[in-house]
Structure 1
Amino acid sequence: MNRRNTPRSNPAKMCGKWLIPGLLMSMLALGCAPVSVGPSGSTAAAARGDGVGSTPALKRLRVLGTNDFHGHLRPTTPPWANGREVGGGPALAAYFQRARDEVDAPTILIDAGDVMQGTPLSNLTSGRSTVDFYNEVGYTAAAIGNHEFDWTAETLAERIEQAEFDWLSANIFVAGSDTFPTWATPTTMVSLPGCAAGPPACDSVHVGIIGITTQTTPTAAMPSHVAPFAFGDEAEAIDRWVPVLRDGGADFVVVTAHEGAYCGIGPTENCRGPMMDIAARLTQPPDLIVSGHTHTLLSITPSGVPVVQGGSYGTNFSIVDLERVSADSVAVHVRAQPPTFVDQVVPDPEIERLLDRYLAEVGPILDDVVATLEAPLLRHGPEYPLGNLIADAQRTTVGVQVAIMNNGGIRTDLGSGPVRYEDLFRVQPFGNTLVTMTLAGEALLRALEHPLNGGRSAGHVSGVRVRYRRNGEPGRRIVEAILDSGEVIRAHGQYRVVVNNFLAEGGDGFDMLLEGADVEHTGIVDLDALIDYLAALPSPTPVPPVGRFQSVD
């Protein structure tokens, strides 16, 4: 069954149904109090009371939003879930259908990008399994995320051809032009019955959707994969297309954007990041932005523009109701952003059968136990044991002096106890290969300082201890870098270094690695290096110490 736009009548109130006390305290603020915002950012009073399940007199739209799914078709057990399984395709399908059933209004399901890359069940099928899941549960549209390019633009084009939903980006161009690539579509317009009865009981609802890709893609994706493309300003692209869609008859305009923000307190307070700037620069604001990329839970209105984001990996999703209360005003109600606990729904049997077919194709390797950990390895703080373990694995595998590992390549935590192949794959899903090179000491010191640009480490190293000034002048933050041998790294020395091929191409801003000499592409996959290293360690695997980056101020 294709679940696209199948609203049914149910008068249940969303707040009581979805908000689960004690799990996410900040979600209490997301209840039923409407945030009413006009297309120009002006506030407006809501024109109705609760009325969620009644036949609409005004045009209404329910938006279900996900982001950064990263191929997580099977459930996970994140540390915050207290041992309960969360997410996975069968449970998500049930949650989506329940959200559709509870309102007599048209519903769209959209995703804010980074759809496929991240698990063996998705990666080993080049994303086919995830796109089939998105087709089956009835996605309307998705943004193109930076990780959509991980398997080249040619593979992305194949997945776009496979998709029964629109995969959108209004700010990807052929480099040196204002032309969209042949596979890139900036917007879509969908027309839906305004209620379950359809016309003439209610008018159709016309929804314009704009896709946005993060402008940081040239450094956040494999540089060689995105070199043929340019990534334009996100706010300019939104401003260009919002009036086009409104003039074309859109009752609502929604942006699905692979860019986001971070909040210091829950999903609503002390927020910062690119999306705050994008919203501030808009002159033609949409009615809602479903955001992604930052893997955070967001429900904010920067500069009067409603923005939501549902964490990552399908562990939460956003439920938002839009209501056009006048010609120039739309009320926006963030109903909930529920955690998708598997034990709260009956998993969808059709999706279970879909996954079983792909599991048979991929094979039993996913559940092979590779190691046993004596304690959880979590990605907490500027330096953490999991990052050091990965850097140690890479340096030991190729036998060089220094390893540098970017935090962006470490995708999830590991729990204590048995660790399966699938668990490690989720930590390092990109299939990056190890590259060795000789770096002059001056370039190596710049590479070691690069992760410190934010004032604290955003990377991990092996074979070296770095003392630095957190508030030091850029280019002069490092006080001293000492190899494990006791040798101090000197500007005119020569040192053998290993990095992954993403960094070797200058990814994440590591341009200095392009200066390396005697470059060797080993062909060793980073995940294989980690698995072999774990096999050589005592069991249970001890927790590596931290302290390789030491602040002196």
Structure 2
Amino acid sequence: MKKRNLGNRKGQRIRQAVGTSMLGVSLVLTSGVTVLAEEAVTDSENVVTEAVVEDAEKAAALDAEVALAEDYTGWDTLKVFETTDVHGYITDVSTYKDETFQYRLAYISNVVNQARANTAYDDVILVDGGDIYQSTPHSNLTYGNYLRAAFDTMKYDAVALGNHEFDWDVTKYAADSNGTMASYETKDTGKVNPAIPVVTSNLYYAGTDTRVDFTQDYTVVEKAGYTVAIVGWADEYSADIKASQIAPYKIDGDLEKLKEKTKKVKEDEDADVVIVLAHASPKEIAEAVDPEVVDLVCGGHSHKSSTGTASNGVDYIQGNCKAQGYGTADIKINPDTKEVDVVDPNFTYITSKTNNEHLYYKDGTNTQLDEKIVKISQEAWDAVKGEMYEVLATADQSITKDVVEGSIVTSTAGTWLTGLMLDATKDLNTVAAFANSGGIRTSLVTAEGETTRDITVADIYTISPFGNRLLTYAINGKQMATQIENAIKFDDNDKVIYNYTNFGDQFAGITVTYEKQDKNIKVLSIVTDAGEIIDVNDETKTYNVVVNEYCATLSQEGIDSVFKNLTPLVALDEAPVDNLSAIEALRARRDSVGLNMKVDTTARLKADTGEAGACEQMNGLLDKVNKFNTDNVKPENKAELEQLNKDIDALIAGGKLTEGQITVLQSKKQEIDTLLNKLKEMEAESKKEDPKKEEPKKEEPKKETPKADPVKKTDNEKKAAKTGDENSLMLWILMMGTAGVGITASATKMKCRNK
């Protein structure tokens, strides 16, 4: 029976963590993470790791652990490499300058080739955790053709099936009826059917217990005379796939069945080594399997690097995403006893700034790139680059996935993309658009030292790669509020739960206020960008909204999308496609107003601050209105005055003001209207003085803003009105006693009660 050297493995891992730089360029950042660099760096947002040394007591025992490390003299070594969630990044072309393209897979391939030639290793195992194809234009527009060519050339031993393998026809572009990777074609090779096994043991045809025929449960490879079984597994990721694409299949996520499967495979194949290859969290799986059966778990799906040892002694690795690096581990085997130990589970990060030079082609002089993979990479880009460099707009700042100030979910990328959805469906009079933050695949960041960012066709395919149809529905105010409430839920640490955001946490065309109620939100107000107040309790009046197909058809944990049983105004097959329609919308905008584009940083979803907060907001609006009067108002103030009108409507719609406060604000709206009329008179006078002056473009007629429904008085408010409430009655007296436009700030300041 195999002995598990748990203390020995720990000693090896910690010895690595406190060791010096390896190969002259490798630095260990944290336990289990290596960065290729020539200088020390800290963890960046692209390297998310799970620490292996879990507490100070273990850290204090480093010297003792190192002393316990066992000598592996005479043992054989199998070197394991894992990539995962490559998402089409055979190269990173986001600079759109050939000289700074990053040949990521060519670099990794060279590292693997060096390991294969290194006598320190008896053999090499190369696997991938799934989500290979979807995201970059040169992968998407060729349906992953060149990724398959690269993987075949690199001689992968097995790949897992990720959720994004379902984005296209999974049986045509990801796997075939033999359970191997689908075919590809290049100029040099012609059509090739690779023999790389696609392993996923828990994927079935829906409504049956029949395994699908396009994946294998496991594969067996011979390495240095040892039998290595690689068992496939998938997380229950159905909710991460568009409903129509996962409908024919089901995933059984029972980890007990995986435990039984690995035991049976080990016995049936007399395997010396068992590896689980999963599109799932490797740590969770490592904790669930039998340590006497499974030696190593290779994971994926979360876009993190994760390395370490589970509490039961099973090691795990996960290679981050987008070919930014790779996971590794050494499997040590005693040739006499067949005892197995796994040491040094690690992740190597290759895209640090100081290593980027090693990823560039350099006119063919870079010896750290595999020439065969370079050639495939260049053919991939050449196949699609025709329109990729076309500049559609020039943004005045970065467009990112980061949450804007004042919101818990709104990002500039989310608002921008949903705004383009509105542009694509403006003929249907859509007032709001919804998408999920998970569908935004990258940020469009300004270059170092630059203040603007050109947006190209390639950018659109990269940030929005899925080709989702945009469906338009007519829904009422209550349904719109429910749509937003479904997307925002909190965990025990008051963090927004990612899975629910897939209902559509990003939106444009409306601004929403809410209050937090335990782990949910209650939408209090919705105001359109045109200033219309949408009654969040109304079930009669409808509004046209657009949502991507994924969000519209989602069901998750007993919650259905509000659109699920509704009929779209335009049939699915005739509905616009997200990235294609975005490109067309930006072209139309460019041709109409030019390239320059201001990025919307509005917090579209904002927490309501309560009655006191509403009062403070009111005072702020009063201050802004009071600085204007008929003597000082100028044409350049028009936009600000119109925005103040909208802000007042939104505050009234929030339902946190007293009747007296609402009366004051409605009076202020009348003042604003007076000022706007004054501006019209000034404009008319200007035309009379200069009749040759060019006529301005005709503005769209302004929609009349509906008046807010009268607020019903509570008993306390009725009582206050009779006895003289200082927040309503006295203010009303002051207001009524003041003549002319422009009531003084002191007369209209509200005394806000602290609650």
TM-score under structure 1 normalisation?
A: 0.81
Matching of residue 405 in structure 1 with residue 435 in structure 2: yes
Structure-1 residue corresponding to 2:648? none
Task: State the match for 2:40 in structure 1.
Answer: 22
Cα 1:503–1:32 change in 2 (3 A) is closer
| Residue in 2 that maps onto 1:231 | 251
SS of 2:434 mapped into structure 1: strand
The equivalent position to 1:314 in structure 2, one of 306, 323, 328, is 323
Indicate which of 292, 297, 300 corresponds to 1:289: 297
**Paired letter, 1:142:** V
- Please state how far the C-alpha of 1:477 moved relative to its aligned partner: 2.5
Is the 8 Å Cα contact of residues 402 and 412 (structure 2) preserved in structure 1? Answer: no
Mapping of residues 412-427 of structure 1, within 5 Å: 412-416=442-446, 417-427=453-463
2:563 alignment partner in structure 1: 513
* Cα pair distance change 1:30/1:64, threshold 3 Å: farther
**CA 1:414–1:518: 2 relative to 1, 3 Å:** closer
CA–CA distance in 2 between the matches of 1:292 and 1:463? 36
Partner-residue secondary structure (3-state), 1:533: helix
Pick closer, same or farther for the CA change 1:17–1:235 going to 2, 3 Å: farther
Superposition map of 1:211-290 within 5 A: 211-217=232-238, 219-233=239-253, 235-247=255-267, 248-260=269-281, 276-283=283-290, 286-290=294-298
**Residue 270 (structure 2) pairs with residue 299 (structure 1):** no
Cα distance change on mapping 1:510 and 1:547 into 2, 3 Å: farther
Q: Retained in 2: the 8 A contact 1:239–1:282?
A: yes
Q: Cα gap change, 1:88/1:327 in structure 2, threshold over 3 Å: closer, same or farther?
A: closer
CA distance in 1, matches of 2:457, 2:104: 18
Pair 63,452 (structure 1): closer, same or farther in 2 beyond 3 Å: same
Task: Measure the CA separation in 2 of the matches of 1:30 and 1:322.
Answer: 21
More off after superposition, 166-175 vs 120-129: 120-129
| CA offset digits 1:345-365 (Å, max 9, x no partner) | 632221222233334433522
Shift of 1:59: 3.5
Deviations 1:266-320 (A, max 9, x none): xxxxxxxxx5544444345622221111111212334343222222110111121
Do 2:325 and 2:347's aligned partners in 1 also have CA atoms closer than 8 Å? no
Q: Give the share of equivalent positions with the same residue, in percent.
A: 23
- CA displacement, residues 327-349 of structure 1 (integer Å, 9 cap, x when unaligned): 66523212442324452263222
Distance (whole Å) between structure 2 residues aligned to residue 435 and residue 29 of structure 1: 38
Task: Please give the alpha-carbon distance, in whole angstroms, between the structure 1 residues aligned to 2:122 and 2:535.
Answer: 65
Say yes or no: does 1:339 pair with 2:346.
Answer: no
* Alignment map for 1:127-526 (pairs within 5 Å): 127-155=144-172, 156-158=174-176, 160-162=181-183, 163-193=194-224, 204-217=225-238, 219-233=239-253, 235-247=255-267, 248-260=269-281, 276-283=283-290, 286-304=294-312, 305-324=314-333, 330-340=341-351, 341-344=355-358, 346-381=368-403, 382-399=409-426, 400-416=430-446, 417-454=453-490, 456=496, 458=501, 459-472=505-518, 474=520, 477-484=522-529, 485-490=531-536, 491-492=538-539, 493-506=541-554, 511-520=561-570, 521=572, 522-526=574-578
Task: Return the offset for 1:528.
Answer: 2.3
Pairs within 5 Å for 1:15-94:
16-19=24-27, 20=37, 21-25=39-43, 48-49=70-71, 57-76=74-93, 86-94=102-110
Do the aligned partners of 1:207 and 1:250 also contact (CA within 8 Å) in 2? yes
- Give the SS at the match of 2:420: helix
Conserved 8 A contact 2:477-2:534:
no
How many angstroms does 1:224 deviate by? Answer: 1.2
SS at match of 2:511: strand
Secondary structure of the 2:150 match is helix
Q: Distance in 1 between matches of 2:519 and 2:507?
A: 22
Alignment CA distance shift 1:540-1:296 (3 Å): farther
Q: Aligned pair in 2 of structure 1 residues 29, 448: CA closer, same or farther (>3 Å)?
A: closer
Query: Following TM superposition, by how much is the alpha carbon of 1:31 offset from its aligned partner in structure 2, in angstroms?
Result: 12
Structure 2 portions without partners, runs of 5+: 1-19, 28-36, 54-64, 184-193, 360-367, 404-408, 447-452, 610-755
In 2 relative to 1, CA 335–393 (structure 1 residues): closer, same or farther, beyond 3 Å?
closer
Q: Is the 8 A contact 1:397 1:529 kept in 2?
A: yes
* Greater RCO, CA 8 A, separation 6+: 1
As a proportion of its length, which structure holds more strand? Answer: 1
Aligned-pair distance for 1:227?
1.0
Q: Displacement of 1:505 after TM fit?
A: 2.3
Larger deviation: 410-419 or 388-397? 410-419
- In structure 2, C-alpha distance between the alignment counterparts of 1:29 and 1:115, rounded to whole Å: 21
Q: Secondary structure at the match of 2:106?
A: helix
- The structural deviation recorded for 1:47 is 6.7
SS of corresponding position for 1:297: coil
Moved more, 281-290 or 409-418: 281-290
CA separation of 1:352/1:362 partners in 2, compared to 1, >3 Å: closer, same or farther? same
Query: Which residue identity is paired with 2:304?
Result: T
State the match for 2:111 in structure 1: 95
Counterpart amino acid of residue 282 in structure 1: V
Larger Rg: 1 or 2? Answer: 2
Q: TM-score, normalised on structure 2?
A: 0.61
* Letter of the 1:402 counterpart: A
Is the 8 Å Cα contact of residues 18 and 338 (structure 1) preserved in structure 2? Answer: no
**Which deviates the most, 126-135 or 480-489?**
480-489
Instruction: Please give the alpha-carbon distance, in whole angstroms, between the structure 1 residues aligned to 2:473 and 2:70.
Output: 65
- Residue matched to 2:581: 529
Q: Supply the AA of the counterpart residue of 1:442.
A: K
Q: Provide the aligned C-alpha RMSD in A.
A: 3.2
More helix by percentage: 2
CA contact (8 A) 1:234 1:278 kept: no
Q: Which amino acid aligns with 1:411?
A: R
C-alpha separation in 1, matches of 2:411 and 2:543 = 25
- 1:148 Cα deviation from its structure 2 partner: 0.4
Inter-CA distance 241–383: structure 2 relative to 1 (3 Å threshold): same
Cα–Cα, structure 1 residues 77 and 526, in superposed 2: closer, same or farther, change >3 Å? closer
Q: Is the contact made by 1:373 and 1:415 (CA closer than 8 Å) also made in structure 2?
A: no
Distance 2:345 2:136 in 1: 30
Structure 2: how far apart are the matches of 1:13 and 1:237? Answer: 42
Following the alignment from structure 2 to structure 1, what is the Cα–Cα distance between the partners of residues 156 and 386?
29
Match of 2:130 in 1: 113
Does the CA-based 8 Å contact 1:31-1:334 persist in structure 2? Answer: no
Q: Specify the alignment match of 2:13 in structure 1.
A: none
Indicate conservation of the 8 Å contact 2:103/2:369, yes or no. no
Residues 143-187 of structure 1: CA deviation (Å, up to 9, x unaligned): 000010111233233473433311110110112222211112111
Q: 1:363 to 1:463 in 2, by over 3 A?
A: closer
